Amino acid sequence: METSLHRALKDQYGSGSGGRSEVTLKGFRIDAVDGAGLLVEIQSGPLGPLRAKLGRLLPEHRVRVVKPVVLERRVVTRARTDGPNLSARRSPKRGAVVDLFEDLVGLARTLPDPNLDIEVLPVSIDEIRVSRRRRPGYRIVDRHLVEILGKLSIERPADLWKLLPQSHDWVEPFTTADIARRIDRPLWLAQRVAYCLRLSEAAQVVGKRGNHRLYVNLSGTVRKTA
């Protein structure tokens, strides 16, 4: 089911930019086409499911994938989906743009395509929950856009480094354990970061340290080990 967040972004990039929403092209439904003819796909979840569609569209069309990343959320509880709000509280859980790598792995090989760019939108949302008896005691029925907190464009593999904190100050070569420490995330996410950097050719494997691969940044922005 389409969420209010998806619908709001679809309208913003379609009719809100002088274009159209819900356009059919080559048998695919496109979320929006802006006033300049750019195809826009809004994708809140993993990006991998877009591979087949992009494979058909990119040879002839420019495509922008808009990926909202939730940084802040307010949890709103209701008795039913369309009922009044019973309570609202600010969630202590905060996201970060680096979390995008969890969903980006499916497009790591596609990213270098010159007709593709990914627009990352850090957002604040209201998450609408309805109580239920089964665990975890609620179900999420909708997400509402509250505010767009920024915008980050990924047009080429080197732009992936913009998603990582202080990437200009990294010492190389580095391992996935080093990535995990720098981004303050679990090793499994650091491994996805390394996978995306390697497959998109934003980074390169240059050897091993024990059982860990050693990576270098191909954009030339990382500090060398003395």
* Residues 93, 198 share a domain: no
* Residues 143, 83 share a domain: yes
What residue numbers bound the domain in which 186 lies? 164-226
Per-residue pLDDT tens for 162-172?
Answer: 999 876 678 88
- Res 176: pLDDT: 96
d(CA 212, CA 118): 30
Local confidence band at 218 (pLDDT 50, 70, 90 cut-offs):
confident
Using the CB atoms, write b or e for 84-99: b if 16+ within 10 Å.
eeeeeeeeeeeeebbb
Per-residue pLDDT tens for 70-96?
Answer: 999 999 999 888 889 999 999 998 899
* Residues 176, 138 share a domain: no
The interaxial angle of helices 176-183 and 187-199, nearest 10 deg, is 110
* Residues 169, 150 share a domain: no
Which of these three, 98, 133, 155, is where a domain ends? 155
Q: Is the pLDDT of residue 66 over 80?
A: yes
Amino acid letter at 115?
Answer: N
Q: Taking residues 99-119, what's their average pLDDT? A: 91
Per-residue pLDDT tens for 114-133?
Answer: 999 999 999 999 999 998 88
Mean confidence (pLDDT) of the chain: 90
Q: Is the pLDDT of residue 195 over 90?
A: yes
* Residues 122, 192 share a domain: no
Sorted by sequence, the CB contacts under 8 Å of residue 26 that are 6+ apart come out as 56, 57
- Res 219: pLDDT: 76
Per-residue pLDDT tens for 4-59?
Answer: 999 999 999 998 888 999 999 988 999 999 988 999 999 998 999 999 999 999 99
Local confidence band at 220 (pLDDT 50, 70, 90 cut-offs):
low
Total structural domains in the chain? 2
* Residues 117, 23 share a domain: yes
Do 86 and 130 form a contact (C-beta atoms < 8 A)? no
